[in-house]
Amino acid sequence: MSRTDRAQPHTHNRIMSLETYKIIHLAGLMSLFLGLGGMVALQGHGSPPTKKLVSIFHGIGLLLLLFGGFGMLAKLPYGVFPGFAIAKGIVWLALGGMLVLGKRRVFSAGVTWMIAIVLGIIATWLGLMKPGATPKPITSMTQSSALIETFRNHTS
């Protein structure tokens, strides 16, 4: 390892890259929603081992989301707590609490499902648009218009 590598450990780590953290983040999302969906389907019934299993899926999902999320933040230039990450933390807490809603049948399965989907959409929007982040992030919109511009200049 060269001196510069040691000085910038994050940018030189190929295995734990931004992409790796993103895959972990998305694996967490899948696991959380599988667990939550399982609990909503069980409606709080089901054998104790089955209920335990779906709760574990949900819990591991929460942990992976957090680990992947803060891992990405360590790679990105927005600091540890940009506005969008704080908002995502609130959504994360709400999705954590959702398991109890599923277990205790506070709302019907359909309503619980809708709340979970809306929370997921909010977190996705926050992750993609990154409101409150400085420097202004490159979104797919700015990225594709820059690509179109390059293409036009190249072909004309």
Enumerate binding residues for ligand HEM (CB under 6 A): 18, 22, 25, 29, 65-66, 69-70, 72-73, 76, 85, 88-89, 91-92, 95, 120, 123-124, 127-128
Other C-beta atoms closer than 10 Å to the C-beta of 95 total 23
Q: What's the min distance (Å) between Cβ of 141 and ligand HEM?
A: 13
Of residues 59 and 89, the one with the C-beta less far from ligand HEM: 89
9 by DSSP, 3-state: which? coil
Which CA distances in Å does 134 have to 7, 82, 137? Answer: 24, 8, 7
Tokens found for residue 14: 């190929």
Q: Fill in the amino acid letter for 96.
A: G
CA distance 129 to 135: 12
Of residues 7 and 133, the one with the C-beta less far from ligand HEM: 133
Of residues 100 and 151, the one with the C-beta less far from ligand HEM: 100
Select from 75, 37, 80, 83 the least CA-distant residue to 57: 37
Of residues 74 and 109, the one with the C-beta less far from ligand HEM: 74
Q: What's the min distance (Å) between Cβ of 98 and ligand HEM?
A: 10
Q: What's the min distance (Å) between Cβ of 78 and ligand HEM?
A: 7
